[in-house]
Structure 1
Amino acid sequence: MFTLDRLRALAAVAVHGSIAQAARSMHMTPSGVSQQLAKLEREAGHPLLEPHGRSVRLTHAGRILAGHADRLLAQLAAAQADLADLGDEVLGPLRIGGVGSAVRTLLPDALAALAAEHPRLTPTVVDGEAVDLLPRLLSGELDLLLIESWANRPLTVPEGVTLRTLVSEDVYVAVSDRHPLADRESVDLADLPDTVWACCPPGTEPYEALVQALRARGVEPGIRYSVAEHLTQLALVARNLAASLIPAMSRHPAPPGVRFLHTRPPLRRDVRAAWLTLNESPPVRACVAAIEA
C-alpha cells in the first residue's frame, strides 16, 4: 500500500529533479527522502529512480507512478478543501503552530475573539520554530503557522504554501546597561567583534539571521548560549553575560538592566501566517482575519 508521504517524496523529485532539492522543498533531509523512496520502490516492485550524472532521474515506472501521485495528491487536497468549505462554517479543529513571540503577542486576543464569535471552533496551539513547524504543515498535521522571516535572510517555503505578512518590525541589539556601548542609541554590528551572544538554536531563522548579519559586517559570531525563548535570552543579557538580537514585540516584558539599541544597518523581521493554499478553510481565514483585526 503506497503512503501519501512516499508519494509526495516521488512527486517532489519529479518536480525538482534531484533528491537534495526535493528534500529542501519538503523541509526534510536528503536521507529521509531517500528512505521514503526506497520503501516506495519495494512497494511498487519496480525501480523508480536511476543515476543521471551526479543526480538521479525517474525511470519509466517512476514517471508513471509520479503522474498518478500528482493526480491523487491534487484530488485529496481538493476533497479536503471541499469539506472545509462545506457551508462556509467556522467550526471544528484548527491546529496552529507558531514561534513563541507570535504565540505570546498575537494569538491570545485573536483566540478570545474567535471563541466569542465561533464557539464551535476548537483551536489547539503548539510553539516551535519554522524549521520544525513547516514539515508538520506540509504533512497535514497543522493547519496554520505563525512563522518569522528576517529581511537579511528571507524565509523560503515550498510551492503550494500561502504566506501573508501580519507584522513587520524592527530588530534591536539587547545589551546590559553595564555594556560599554549601552549609552548609544544605535550600534553597528561591526562594533561588537568580541561579543558573546545568546540566540535561538542552530538551524532556526533567528540563528541564521544573526550569523549572516554579523558576518556581513566582518564579525565571526561567538554564540555561547543557545536558548529558544527571548525572555531567557534577556535574562542573560541583564546579567551582562551576552548580547542578543530581539524583535520589537519581544522587548516587553524585559528584566531591569537591559538596553535596546537600534542596529546599523537596520534589521527587520516579519511575522507571517502560512497555510497550504489548497487547504485554505473557513477556520484558517477566520483566524488570520482575527489576528489582522
Structure 2
Amino acid sequence: MNLDRLRALHAVSAHGSIAAAAEAMHVTPSGVSQQLAKLEREAGHTLLEPRGRGVRLTRAGHVLAGHAERVLAQLAAAAAELDGLRADAAGPVRIGAIITAARTVLPRALTVLRERHPDLSPTLREGEAANILPSLERGDIDVAVVESWDTAPTPMPAAVSHLPLSRDAVDLALPSRHPLARRRAVGLDELSGLRWAAWTAGTACERQTVQTLRDRNVEPDIVCHVADYRTQLAFVAAGLAAAFVPRLGRDPVPAGVRILATRPVIHQSVHVVWRTGRAGPAVEACVEALRAAAGPPPGEERAPLPVTAGHGATGSGRGA
C-alpha cells in the first residue's frame, strides 16, 4: 500500500475530517479524497462512510488507520536514529586490515573506540591489501588499513582518501651464522644468492620483496611463501631462508636470527583508507582511534629491536 495514502488515512483519523486532514497535510481536500479512494481500491475495503456533512472511518478504516499510525511511528523512529548517526558515532562500522595491523594496531584502536564511542559497533575483517581495497570500493567495508613500501607502493584507488598512520623501517633477517650476519648493515645489491621467505604468492607483500630486490639487480629465489612474519623468522632461524621483516608487528626475534639494517633503508608506511565523501561520524571516529593507537606519528620510526638474538641455528652461503 502506498505510504502517502496511508498518511492521508491517518490524518483523517487524527483530525476528524477530510478538510482538517488536508489543512494539516498542506494539500487540497480533493487531493486527500483522491488518495483515500485509491487506498480503498488497494485495500479492497470501504474505509470511509458519510456522516452528516463529513465522513467517519468504517471498521476496516479503523483497523488500517491503526496500522498506518504504527508504520508512520516506526518510520519517524528510523529517521530520528539516522539523524543521530549524523551527529554522533553510532551503529556498525566495518574495518578491513592487513594481518600485522590486525594483530598490533587494531586491538588498541578498538579499545579506544569502545571507550570514546560506546554506541559504535565495529567489526574486523583480516586480509591482504589486494582484497581489502576492492572491498572498500564496493562498500563491503567502511575503513581499510593497508601497508605500502617505498620500493613498491600499494596503488590506491581513485575513489578513496587515505592518511598515513605510521612509517617504519623494513629490516633484513638472516641466519645468525651467515657470513653477512656479522655486519651491522648490508647493501641491497649484496643479496644475490640468498634464498628467501616471502609472503603468500601473488600478494602485495610478495611483490614488494621481489620488486625491492629486482630494483637492485638481484633476482630473488623464494623457497617459502608464508603469510606470517613469525613463521618466516622461524625459517630464517633454521638457516633455510632470509626475509625482509617490517618492525611493525615483529615478534621477539627467535634465537638464531640476526636483524640488520639495509642500505638504502626500506620503509613501510601503514595507511588508513576510506571512500572519499563517505567519512561520516562512525568512519571519522574509527580513523581517529586508529591514529591514536598507531604509535609514533608519521615520519618517526620505531626503535629497532636488539640486533641479535642468540646463535642457536646454522645457516650460511646458499642455505640462506
Q: TM-score, normalised by structure 2?
A: 0.63
CA contact (8 A) 1:234 1:244 kept: yes
What is the Cα deviation at residue 87 of structure 1? 3.5
Match of 1:215, as an amino acid? R
Q: Deviations over 1:102-136 (max 9, x none)?
A: 11111111111111222221111111110011111
CA contact (8 A) 1:161 1:277 kept: yes
What is the Cα deviation at residue 261 of structure 1? 0.8
| Counterparts in 2 of 1:86 and 1:117: CA distance versus 1, 3 Å | closer
- The CA distance in 1 between the partners of 2:83 and 2:258, in whole Å, is 47
Match of 2:260, as an amino acid? L
Match of 1:144, as an amino acid? V
Please state whether the residue corresponding to 1:201 is helix, strand or coil: coil
- The CA distance in 2 between the partners of 1:100 and 1:168, in whole Å, is 16
CA contact (8 A) 1:200 1:226 kept: yes
What is the Cα deviation at residue 176 of structure 1? 1.5
- Specify the alignment match of 1:216 in structure 2: 215
- The CA distance in 2 between the partners of 1:84 and 1:105, in whole Å, is 34
Match of 1:223, as an amino acid? I
- Specify the alignment match of 2:205 in structure 1: 206
CA contact (8 A) 1:84 1:281 kept: no
Please state whether the residue corresponding to 2:179 is helix, strand or coil: coil
CA contact (8 A) 1:85 1:282 kept: no
Q: What aligned pairs does 1:36-115 form with structure 2 within 5 A after superposition?
A: 86-115=85-114
What is the Cα deviation at residue 84 of structure 1? 8.3
Please state whether the residue corresponding to 2:145 is helix, strand or coil: strand
CA contact (8 A) 2:173 2:236 kept: yes
1:116 aligns with 2:115: yes
- The CA distance in 1 between the partners of 2:227 and 2:167, in whole Å, is 21
- The CA distance in 2 between the partners of 1:98 and 1:285, in whole Å, is 16
- The CA distance in 2 between the partners of 1:95 and 1:194, in whole Å, is 44
Match of 1:167, as an amino acid? S
Q: Deviations over 1:231-277 (max 9, x none)?
A: 11111111111111111113333322221111111111100001101
Between the two proteins, the alignment pairs up a number of residues equal to 212
What is the Cα deviation at residue 85 of structure 1? 7.6
- The CA distance in 2 between the partners of 1:95 and 1:131, in whole Å, is 17
- The CA distance in 2 between the partners of 1:188 and 1:280, in whole Å, is 42
- The CA distance in 1 between the partners of 2:278 and 2:86, in whole Å, is 15
* RMSD over equivalenced CA pairs, Å: 1.7
- Specify the alignment match of 1:266 in structure 2: 265
- Specify the alignment match of 1:159 in structure 2: 158
- Specify the alignment match of 2:140 in structure 1: 141
- Specify the alignment match of 2:178 in structure 1: 179
1:247 aligns with 2:226: no
Match of 1:141, as an amino acid? D
Please state whether the residue corresponding to 1:242 is helix, strand or coil: coil
CA contact (8 A) 1:199 1:226 kept: yes
Q: Deviations over 1:147-198 (max 9, x none)?
A: 0111011221221200110001111011121222112111112222111111
Identity, % of aligned positions: 43
- Specify the alignment match of 1:286 in structure 2: 285
CA contact (8 A) 1:171 1:268 kept: yes
1:257 aligns with 2:271: no
CA contact (8 A) 2:94 2:124 kept: yes
Could you list the structure 1 runs, at least 4 aligned residues long, displaced by more than 3 angstroms after superposition.
83-87
Match of 1:97, as an amino acid? G
| Counterparts in 2 of 1:217 and 1:91: CA distance versus 1, 3 Å | same
CA contact (8 A) 2:175 2:181 kept: yes
CA contact (8 A) 2:85 2:91 kept: no
1:193 aligns with 2:182: no
- The CA distance in 2 between the partners of 1:141 and 1:84, in whole Å, is 22
- Specify the alignment match of 1:66 in structure 2: none
| Counterparts in 2 of 1:84 and 1:126: CA distance versus 1, 3 Å | farther
- The CA distance in 1 between the partners of 2:136 and 2:143, in whole Å, is 7
- Specify the alignment match of 2:130 in structure 1: 131
Larger Cα Rg: Structure 1 or Structure 2? 2
Please state whether the residue corresponding to 1:97 is helix, strand or coil: strand
What is the Cα deviation at residue 140 of structure 1? 0.8
User: Any stretches of 5+ residues in structure 1 without a counterpart?
Assistant: 1-82
| Counterparts in 2 of 1:262 and 1:154: CA distance versus 1, 3 Å | same
